[in-house]
Amino acid sequence: MTIDYSSWDHIYVSDDEDATSPYVDTPSLFRMRHRVRLEKMAEFQQRGEDLENNFAECKRLLEEAQGQLKELEDGREEGEEDEEREAELEKVQAVVKKLKKDEKTFAKLIEEYRREEKKVPWNVDTISKEGFSKSVLNTKPVPKEETQEEKVEKHKTFVEKYATEIKHFGMLRRWDDSQKYLSDNPHLVCEETANCLVVICIDFEIDEKHALMEQVAHQTIVMQFILDLARTLEVDPRGCFRQFFSKIKTADKPYQDAFDHELELLKERICSCAQLRMENAMKELEEEEKQKRLGPGGLDPVEVYQSLPKEIQRSFDEKNIQMLQEAMNKLDFEEGKYHLKRCIDSGLWVPDSGEGDDDEEDEEGDNEEDEEED
């Protein structure tokens, strides 16, 4: 079977024309001819579209007229004959006849247009058409900004899943061991691992295991340097940790000094965090103990005791009721009433039933006496 190349016999390419003028710029001449050809192509295409539209409109009108004609004929068959209906029928028949003639005319014109279209030579604008057009830009996707709750949940899930592997990495000492372990566990090369190592360091410092803290701190800086290198190169950290180990093994003095400096700063921050955590723990413990010893009025007996005058403090120390009564009588009425109420609210003094009213009566009688029982 041979291939027919006859369709390539008539190809119009304006750039191959020899008709040029020394008085006209050749590129400008070609552009002008190209513009004229495009205008002619647009006119020819518009003529075809007009024929198609007119043909479709003619068919639509013909269908409407034929439907109207059928209704009139059906009415005449049913015996509904009158002059007006007959005149209308003749008029519609004439319209249908004319529309059929127009339909044939438009069909003939469209056929001639298509034959003429096939004879139009190809040019640079019609010789080929795009099968499809697609543009792909290889851009880095913008990461979704995570909320604080999502970050906390992500960290918690990661640590629960890989806690053992993270602790093992934190105990490695040699560069080669660390590199091999990360090669076997590349999922550990991430921000969550660095954060978890910092927490482990703080726990060791609180437990006064300083040597272990320093060891894990060293591995924390290793992970942090890998993450910094990844941010600098704008690549995934899992793809550049080998570059870090290659660099640190043969590091010059400035790079090694920078590594050691960051390690010392991290140790200082860990010590400060551990100290702060212990202080907070002591405060919480003291607050719990304080809540446990609060009296019936919600006052702390220790604080109330420290605010009492020296003689009243000594009477409580010696558990001497007589001394307490004498110390209370020496005070002003309002001051004595104030201290007595605070002692009752804190639980330092627990009056028996009925004696509280007696005490108030004694206070109102210029503190003449206080009935108190141990």
**What are residue 11's DSSP bridge partners?**
122
Phi, psi of 369, rounded to the nearest 5 degrees? -160, 155
- Which pLDDT value is given to residue 253? 87
Q: Closest Cα to residue 64, out of 34, 89, 95?
A: 95
Residue 227: how many other CB atoms lie within 10 Å: 19
- Which pLDDT value is given to residue 322? 80
For residues 261 and 256, what is the distance between their CA atoms, to the nearest angstrom? 9
Contact assessment for residue 186 and residue 162, using Cβ atoms and an 8 Å cutoff:
no
- Which pLDDT value is given to residue 141? 67
Q: What is the pLDDT along the chain (374 residues), one digit of tens a residue?
A: 577 666 666 666 554 455 667 777 778 877 888 888 889 889 999 999 999 999 999 999 989 988 888 888 877 766 656 677 788 888 888 988 998 999 999 999 999 999 888 887 777 777 777 777 777 776 666 767 778 888 888 888 988 999 999 999 999 989 999 999 999 999 999 999 999 999 999 999 988 899 999 999 999 999 999 999 998 888 888 888 899 999 888 878 888 899 999 999 999 999 999 888 888 888 887 777 766 666 666 777 777 777 788 877 787 777 777 887 777 777 778 887 787 788 777 777 777 633 434 443 343 333 333 433 33
- Which pLDDT value is given to residue 319? 77
pTM of the model: 0.47
End-to-end CA distance of the chain: 126
